[in-house]
Structure 1
Amino acid sequence: MAQTFEGYLFDVYNVEEQIILWVKNGDTIQCFTDQYYPTIYIKGNTSYENKFIQRLRQLNALHKEPETVEKKSFYKGEWISVRKIQLTKPTVLKTIYQKLYAFYEKLEIFHSDIDITTSYLAEINIFPFGIVRVEYDGTKIISIKTISDLKNYDYDYPKLSYLEISFKANHRIAYSAQNPFVMRVGETFYEELFFKNAIDLLKRINEILQQFDPDIILSSFGDQTIFPFIFGLAQKLKYPLLFDRDKNPTIRKITNKGTSFETYGQVIYRASSYPLFGRLHIDSNNSFIFKESFIYGIIELARLSRIPIQKMARSSTGTALTNIETAIALKHDYLVPWQKASIENKRTLYDLIRVDKGGLVSIPDMSLGVILENIVQLDFAQMYPSIMSHYNLSPETVNCLCCKDELEKWYIPGTNYYICAKRRGVVSEALENILDRRKYYKTQLEQVDSDIYEARQNALKWMLVTSFGYLGYRNAKFGRLESHESVTAIGREVLLTAKEIIEDTDLIVLHTMTDSLFVSSKSGYAIEHDRIKSLCKTIGEATKIELKVEGVYSWLIFPASKQDPEIGVVNRYFGKFKTGKLKLRGIFLRRKDTPEFIKAFQNELLKLFQNCDSIEELRSQKNDYTDLFYKYEKLLSSNEVSWQSLLLKRTISKELDEYTVNSQSTQSIKQLKEMNIDINPGEKIKYLVVRNKYGSKEYASEETILKSSTVPKIFIPYYREYLIKALEEVAEHLFDDLFFKTLRQNQLIFEFRSL
């Protein structure tokens, strides 16, 4: 007998030929199953098409006989005939995708690499954490439809319960009495779990899961170490665990081997994935989105991209954007290629020099003084994504085939590229909605302090940041280098236009940085607020990109470059707005590899700066800065600083045998290998600078220190020099050169006292 259930779509995944959905309403959560027959399209030589279809027939993978339909070519925009194939076995898609290169240049296959669950959600128009109405019989879905609007900016969440799990000391050290598991439920429950008998450990974990029945397991290094260990024990001992709500046993492949890859000059490590079934597992250390925007940001991106929550938590914001673009392409009846189908056109060396440039940057003129007053910072709101949206920049719209023979075209400044005038680009259409959503959330934040709005806008910010990179990424489905170069070309023109409009008045532009301008009056006096607002409006109308006042600085400091003291550094500055708020960019306090002790010193130092409203006041407080330095120096010399607050962080970029010098990285990796701990490129290590038995400096990994029974002997001169650098970075232009020279000359005396 058919029944109806309404609730939030909590989890969705496919097992063999079935789609499994979990729907939550209040404290009730129900499981449903559905059938799904994904569709792909093929085009090519008739004999190859027939061979491909025959193979699917042999696999019993055809839901019904293929038919010829009309679909739109992505790059040409023309309707073409293709064979539509509906599959009974979604798992066959993986086989097809893995063997696509065998058909290269023989057969074009479309829609084959769209994730099965995402394809299912898109086809029936539902999305994660949207409210659905399910008509069902037993557990089988008769019909399911959404009663939520994906376009809603304000939407509710179901009530979610959390259970946190982590190692007490360090995820790389083995489970032991000194390093037990810690389970926590908010402020109400905390327990350290260590049992010599493995069955007792698994039994206690089940008891806690039964007691709290959490919706979300929030782990620290769960994917990398905790779940491989726990699930490995459970499989070995054949002891069923209750992490999954799904009662059907799921065989997991137990591995703690992740993958390392390089992107934008950085080596990234991604741990193996351990999703749960009917319950959500989010590893805070294996989720960029969670680190930046917590669960609210993951939900925002999962809804928009139709990627299930656990998969979204472990995916990049670029993957989410690609899914949103794919949905728009499908809406317009485009055939979505399985990989980028348009390669870069041949160009002359002159064209490369003229076009292949980045954003416009001008370095601060040190002759104007590095401590400035009454400076206004103007920012173009999400400049590159806004350019892509407003100027219709997309892989199929730059140098489009449909406008090739048109006599009148709009050419991109500084290039011989033109933009399509006949159709809206998939990328620009996708970004328009994202820009509008983020603008709404930021507007709401101006009226009310909300963690939810902050998380959502932050998640969207990172999606917008990656949108420009993906437009030029060689493997991006919706990427093309000419489109990427068009963005920077327009960006440079926008910034130059703004600079010219500003300098046609009695104002000057001191510094530009891709999407920001630092403006001052020639007299040095404050600029009227209404005048700045009017200027922003004029520039916005001229460039089609919104220009906003980031803030007016009481004082602004550009630290000098270490390579050349005569110039500033493009992306390192700090200052105090007239509102009293500090803005910090690129200094030690903002860097993730800075020890907490050094951060604490610079943070306290900048609070003293924050009390000052002018350059004169900054200089008058020099005695307070030096007193603070000596206070922290004394803490070091008297060993009153915990070694944990002195740990430095470093990313391992390669294997041990690839390093050619004996550095912090090599010493730490060697120590970890002696403990039978493998480190993969892209993983982060923490280490301490210590004094060895000969009095010399060396490096000790955090794991080595934790395993040792002795307290580490800190190499104090290293950290004192770090303190000097932290002071010098923000106050070098408030003191003369002799001051810092004297501090460093006192190093020998300080080192002698610290022995």
Structure 2
Amino acid sequence: MPGRVIIDESNTFFYGETNLEGVLDLVSRSKKPVQELAWASIGNVLTAIQICEAHDRGVLVPWNSWRHEFYKPMGTLHDADRGGFIFAPEVGLHENVHELDFSSLYPNIICTRNVSPDVIRCDCHSDRDDVPGLGYSICDDRGYLVDVLQPIIDARDEIKAAIRHEKERDDPDEDRLAELEGRSGALKWILVACFGYQGFSNAKFGRIECHEAINAFAREILLTAKQRLEAGGWRVVHGIVDSIWVTPDPDVNDEDREDLQTLATEITERVEIRLEHEAQYDWVAFVPQRESDAGALTKYFGKVAGDDDFKIRGIEARQRSTPPFIEDVQRDCLDRLDTTRSPDAVLGRLERAIDELQAGNVAVERLIERNRVSKPLEGYSQNTQNVAALKRAREQDLAVHPGQDIEYVVVDDEKSSRDRVALAHEEIETYDASYYETQLVRAVESVLSPLGWDRTDIRRELSGERDAVLSSFGASNELS
């Protein structure tokens, strides 16, 4: 309809992840129509922005990707086929932890190191070794990818500064903040994708050597930061790609330890990318992998210094499929761990939650699971709960397409048919308490595993507590 724009909220990425202001910002940069941009992928929008730059330069746009991979010896291929640097987290609870982040590391590497498909491994400087460890040269001519990303980086820095300024006001304008947050979020998604898209085989302007070079520079930068921080009296407890967590080294006297902000400034000047102090935590707990003692790279939680909130990553409270009841119990357990540092207090909360479940006192609305459908029903080979829900939806003539969510309550997890679950809109009279008890134990295991507990220990402790309660109950009856 002329003069109207329709955004389908059930089939949109950017509008769902940001807001209308974020969508409109990208419209101005990509020249895509609003309704088309709303459903477009990140790579689609990034390509549109790159095409705009190509037009401004008078460069023809290839119909398909055409840049082949340069020949390289097996040794170089082995060295190049690596990701960013990772320092495995030290599983456990660490106190007085600081988190440092490199600002937009990969996009800034592209801009400060001039990494671009049109200048990487150029013939005019083939004798140079510009990329650490790989021997790739980079031409002195400014690459087009730099001109694509630098305005986005600068715009996002300005928006973030405006957000900080607005929050510092006595009476922040919430509408203004929402607008700025939306624009910042939209630009962040483009910056996040620009690195990976260089390694995508179908990217119009991609080149795998750019992807490899960016990773090589990132590894060198993180190692440089680690070495300087440790030399300044700080111990690294975790590091992943562009973030690093440090705590005071107990073997270094406080008077000999260098100021963290001063170190961050020095590292910034050395690597030419801003190292920011992201947060200080009273404590941070790094979670082990489910079936291993090694630290999970992206699972941790911590108490932000001077704040009532926790920063949570990777565990159930951050997972969109987690039912509200499970999430609330896990957050209560975090509060108890923060207050007491005692597993007993956490287990006490778990036991009360299990009692609520077994007594049937939990409202079914608080047990709804929400999962995203990844393929049509016929595409699934396993009888998962999602499959049972999709079968149930089909039985009721409800169309659920890939990319959409389906919501349900598990009513009998022993079954493999559509009767395993009930859809959220149905009248649900019961739920599978044993299934949700298992989910509770897993959630509490995430909280206690940094302290050395696993689900076997939790089950054993719960069994002992229940036996003690039953014994006490029997003894009181005998006395009476």
Q: Which residue of structure 1 aligns with residue 271 of structure 2?
A: 543
Instruction: State how far apart, in whole Å, the 1-side matches of 2:402 and 2:200 are.
Output: 22
2:471 is matched with which residue?
none
- CA deviation profile, 1:129-187 (whole Å, cap 9, x unmatched): xxxxxxxxxxxxxxxxxxxxxxxxxxxxxxxxxxxxxxxxxxxxxxxxxxxxxxxxxxx
Secondary structure, counterpart of 2:53 in structure 1? helix
Shift of the 626–317 alpha-carbon distance from structure 1 to 2, 3 Å rule, reads same
Q: What is residue 281 of structure 1 aligned with on the other side?
A: 6
Q: Which whole-Å deviations, capped at 9, do the CAs of 1:615-664 have from their partners, x for residues lacking one?
A: xx423xx5543443234333323323232321223344445455443322
Of the three residues 105, 114, 118, the one matched with 1:383 is 105
Structure 2 unmatched ranges of 5 or more? 168-176, 468-480
For the residue of structure 2 that corresponds to 1:417, the secondary structure is: coil
In 1, distance between residues paired with 2:158 and 2:391? 51
Q: Which residue of 1 aligns with 2:84?
A: 359
The correspondence for 2:304, drawn from 571, 577, 584, is 577
Residues 1:525 and 1:715: Cα distance change in structure 2 (over 3 Å): farther
**Alignment partner for residue 145 of structure 2, among 427, 437, 442?**
427
Q: How does 1:521-540 map to 2 (within 5 A)?
A: 521-523=248-250, 531-540=259-268
Superposition deviation, residue 679 in structure 1: 4.6
More contact order relative to length (CA 8 Å, sep ≥ 6): 2
Paired with 2:222 and 2:29, the residues of 1 have a C-alpha distance of 32
Q: How many residues align?
A: 455
Farther-moved stretch of structure 1 (678-687 vs 634-643): 678-687
Alignment of 1:257-272 (within 5 A): none
Asked if the contact 1:690–1:698 (Cα under 8 Å) also holds between the matched residues in 2, the reply is: no
CA deviations on 1:250-290 (whole Å, 9 max, x unpaired) are xxxxxxxxxxxxxxxxxxxxxxxxxxx42222222211111
Q: For residue 438 of structure 2, what is the aligned residue in structure 1?
A: 721
Partner of 1:299: 24
Corresponding residue of 1:485: 212
What secondary structure is seen at the aligned counterpart in 1 of 2:312?
Answer: strand
Q: How many Å separate the matches in 2 of 1:364 and 1:407?
A: 39
The alignment's TM-score, normalised by the length of structure 2, stands at: 0.86
- Determine which of 575, 586, 590 is the counterpart of 2:318: 590
1:331 and 1:516, CA in 2 relative to 1: closer, same or farther beyond 3 A? same
Deviations 1:401-441 (A, max 9, x none): xxx1347635201112111102x222111211111111111
Q: Give the structure 2 partner of residue 516 of structure 1.
A: 243
Aligned to 2:288: 560
Is 1:632 paired with 2:350? no
Partner of 1:412: 131
Counterpart for residue 74 of structure 2 = 349
Change (3 A) 1:286 1:701: farther
Determine if contact 1:393/1:483 at 8 Å carries over to the other structure: yes
For the pair 1:438 / 2:156, whether they are aligned, the reply is: yes
User: What code does the residue aligned with 1:339 have?
Assistant: N
Residues 64, 202 of structure 2: 8 Å contact kept = yes
Give, in angstroms, the shift of residue 527 of structure 1: 7.2
Q: Distance in 2 between matches of 1:735 and 1:343?
A: 50
- Residues 385, 701 of structure 1: CA spacing in aligned structure 2 closer, same or farther, 3 A cutoff? farther
Q: Tell me what 1:741 maps to.
A: 459
One-letter amino acid of the structure 2 residue matched with residue 715 of structure 1? D
Look up the equivalent residue of 2:286 and give its one-letter code: F
Relative to 1, partners in 2 of residues 1:308 and 1:583: Cα closer, same or farther, differing over 3 Å? Answer: same
Query: SS of 2:279's equivalent?
Result: strand
User: Residues 101 and 278 of structure 2 are in contact (CA less than 8 Å); yes or no, is this contact kept in structure 1?
Assistant: yes
Q: State the SS of the aligned residue for 1:558.
A: strand
Distance 1:301 1:667, change over 3 A: same
1:161 aligns to what? none
Q: CA deviation at 1:442?
A: 1.3
Partner residue, 1:666: 387
Distance 2:403 2:465 in 1: 35
Distance 1:626 1:748, change over 3 A: closer
Structure 1 CA distance for aligned equivalents of residues 12 and 326 of structure 2: 27
Q: Does structure 1 conserve the Cα–Cα contact (< 8 Å) formed by 2:163 and 2:180? A: yes
Tell me how far apart the structure 2 counterparts of residues 596 and 653 of structure 1 sit (CA, whole Å): 22
Structure 1, residues 710-741: CA drift from partner, whole Å, max 9, x if none? 53421101111211221221133458668513
Q: Which runs of structure 2 are paired with 1:65-464 in the superposition (5 Å)?
A: 244=1, 277-366=2-91, 370-400=92-122, 404-406=123-125, 409-422=128-141, 424-449=142-167, 450-464=177-191
Q: Which amino acid aligns with 2:84?
A: G
> Is 1:732 matched with 2:457?
no
Structure of higher CA gyration radius: 1
The whole-number CA distance in structure 1 between the counterparts of 2:409 and 2:335 is: 28
Give the aligned partner of residue 470 of structure 2: none
Per-residue deviation, 1:503: 2.3
Q: Which amino acid in 1 is paired with 2:341?
A: L
Shift of 1:706: 3.7
Query: Which structure shows the higher helix fraction?
Result: 2
Deviations 1:294-345 (A, max 9, x none): 1111111112222222111111233222222222222222222222221112
Separation of aligned partners in 2, 1:530 and 1:582 = 28
Structure 2 contact 65–203 (Cα < 8 Å) conserved: yes
Partner of 2:408: 687
Residues 685 and 701, structure 1, Cα contact 8 Å, conserved in 2: no
Q: CA deviation at 1:599?
A: 1.3
| Cα 1:309/1:527, change in 2 over 3 Å | farther
SS at match of 1:490: helix
Paired with 1:747 and 1:721, the residues of 2 have a C-alpha distance of 17
Cα deviations by residue, 1:461-495 (Å, 9 ceiling, x for unpaired): 11111111211111112111111111111111111
Q: Work out whether residues 503 and 509 of structure 1, in 8 Å CA contact, stay in contact via their aligned partners in 2.
A: yes
How far, CA to CA, are the matches of 1:590 and 1:524 in structure 2? Answer: 35
What is the aligned partner in structure 2 of residue 599 from structure 1? Answer: 327
The 2-side partners of 1:723 and 1:598 are apart by 6
State the match for 2:472 in structure 1: none
Q: Deviations over 1:567-586 (max 9, x none)?
A: 21111111112232421111
**Deviation sequence 1:10-31 (CA, Å, 0-9, x none):** xxxxxxxxxxxxxxxxxxxxxx
Q: What is the Cα deviation at residue 522 of structure 1?
A: 1.8
Deviation larger for 666-675 or 567-576: 666-675
| Structure 2 residue corresponding to 1:648, chosen from 342, 349, 369 | 369
Distance in structure 1 (CA, Å) of the matches to 2:44 and 2:318: 27
SS of corresponding position for 1:335: coil
- Structure 2 CA distance, aligned partners of 1:596 and 1:638? 18
Structure 1 residues without counterparts, runs of 5 or longer: 1-243, 245-276, 750-755
Q: Contact 1:687–1:702 (CA<8 Å) still a contact in 2?
A: yes
Percent identity of equivalent pairs: 31
Amino acid of the residue matched to residue 361 of structure 1? I
Residue 504 (structure 1) aligns with = 231
Change (3 A) 1:701 1:475: farther
Matches of 1:717 and 1:701, distance apart in 2: 13
Residues 717, 747 of structure 1: 8 Å contact kept: no
Q: Secondary structure at the match of 1:571?
A: strand
Shift in alpha-carbon separation, 1:690–1:432, aligned structure 2, 3 A: same
The 2-side partners of 1:712 and 1:527 are apart by 61
Q: Per-residue displacement from partner, 1:588-626 (whole Å, max 9, x unpaired)?
A: 11111111211122223334455x4xxxx423xx55434
- CA distance 1:699–1:371, shift in 2 (3 Å): farther
